[in-house]
Structure 1
């Protein structure tokens, strides 16, 4: 029987110093920023495995191409993921490139900037894509951290002003104008700025206090090394 579950695509960049998490530089070193980026990727892939999609795909950006990246080759083997290159162009063009090969059963594309996202919420967005043509999971900064598409690409990836606080609202307006039914995934917070890192650390300390476990063990380990979680139990 054909597997009707959507695929799950983890959309990420190789964690190279001075090229990732640059908005954190000054508060932490380039090496620490790269370590956080690496931890975010590994935690996202661990969640991907736990929600049992039909396929896990790493859509990677790396100098020289994803397929030649030893970093991504290791992750691909470790998590049983297929590895594809993001391609070139705008963020919208690269997301389209990642999503289009999975149009029949659909795919949910997630970023890696929501390390504390509970696995159950990721599973909810993936399940929603079995019923809706488009799934959008908003982030609190006005963008979205996950987008799922089943069938033809909707008109939401071209001509968008990426990186602004209006991306989510603009996306919803476009879907409504096109008459495309969509489903909303759970909202969550991104970790882009230093204040977001402080929020993440406080959140993880609270979870540790109530012994609720951690949704992002790799990230928690890095934050401990940075001295941000020394009171966690």
Structure 2
């Protein structure tokens, strides 16, 4: 898999800047602790993958307050909505040469190394692979070539992201595979599902 890539979209772990919907319920300091834990889980799950790993920070890549460690390169997300940021990251990494690229965030504690392996495998037989999130979005997207149409006219952070993405793939007569549905941690209900405790 060494010719494949994994893009990780991450935010700097800064008080008041992460998981703002969750912070409304549990406060900014606890939210920062949760986000830091999610970063640690993402690092642990991805560190052993034999692919090129590139972390795209939400702003400067210089002296980030969190280190993913050896084997991770750093870039900065473009300015724009989520779709534009993802499109430009995919475009940049394909231009540098690769076979398959997956993109993930840092807010899915249920992600496993095996799920990532499965996603790369599914791209052998499909144009795209998608990891559905329970809220109607997706926690993973993978492809084998630059495909800007995936990021056009999508209302990001809504329950329609997955269905509209699949619709756009079908309109282009492309194929896709789905992997396990997981939960992103966005609000207090997600946190309770993960931790099984009351905050």
CA RMSD of aligned residues (A): 1.9
Indicate the residue corresponding to 2:151 in structure 1: 157
Q: CA deviation at 1:150?
A: 1.0
* In 2, Cα distance between equivalents of 1:41 and 1:166: 26
Answering whether residue 84 of structure 2 is matched by residue 93 of structure 1, we say: yes
SS at match of 1:105: coil
Which residue of the other structure, out of 168, 184, 187, is the alignment partner of 1:190? Answer: 184
Once the two structures are TM-superposed, the CA of residue 107 in structure 1 deviates from its matched residue by 0.8
The answer to whether the 8 A contact 2:2-2:50 is kept is no
Structure 1 residue 13 displacement after superposition: 0.8
Map residues 69-80 of structure 1 onto 2, 5 A cutoff: 69-72=63-66, 74-75=67-68, 78-80=69-71
* Alpha-carbon offset, residue 4 of structure 1: 6.1
Q: Deviations over 1:189-220 (max 9, x none)?
A: 11111011110013xxxxxxxxxxxxxxxxxx
1:133-173 per-position Cα deviation (integer Å, ceiling 9, x unaligned):
21111001100000012112141112210011010000000
Aligned partner of residue 47 in structure 2, secondary structure:
helix
Q: 1:15 to 1:41 in 2, by over 3 A?
A: same
CA distance in 2, matches of 1:186, 1:25: 28
Write out per-residue CA displacement over residues 15-34 of structure 1, whole angstroms, 9 at most, x where no aligned residue.
Answer: 11111111112432212211
| C-alpha distance in 2 between matches for 1:154 and 1:180 | 13
Query: Are the aligned partners of 1:10 and 1:45 in contact in 2 as well (CA < 8 Å)?
Result: no
Residues matched between the structures, number: 195
* Residues in 1 aligned to 2:109 and 2:121: alpha-carbon distance in whole angstroms: 20
Between 172-181 and 123-132, report the one with greater CA deviation.
Answer: 123-132
The runs of 5 or more residues in structure 1 that have no matched partner are: 203-227
- The higher radius of gyration belongs to 1
Alignment of 1:109 onto 2:112: no
SS of 2:150's partner is coil
**Correspondence 1:42 to 2:36:** no
Alignment equivalent of 2:14, drawn from 13, 16, 21: 16
Deviation at 1:132, TM superposition (A): 2.5
Residues 1:177 and 2:171 aligned together:
yes
TM-score for both structures, normalised by structure 1: 0.77
TM-score (norm 2): 0.90
CA distance, structure 2, for counterparts of residue 192 and residue 43 of structure 1: 16
Distance 1:163 1:33, change over 3 A: same
1:209 is aligned to: none
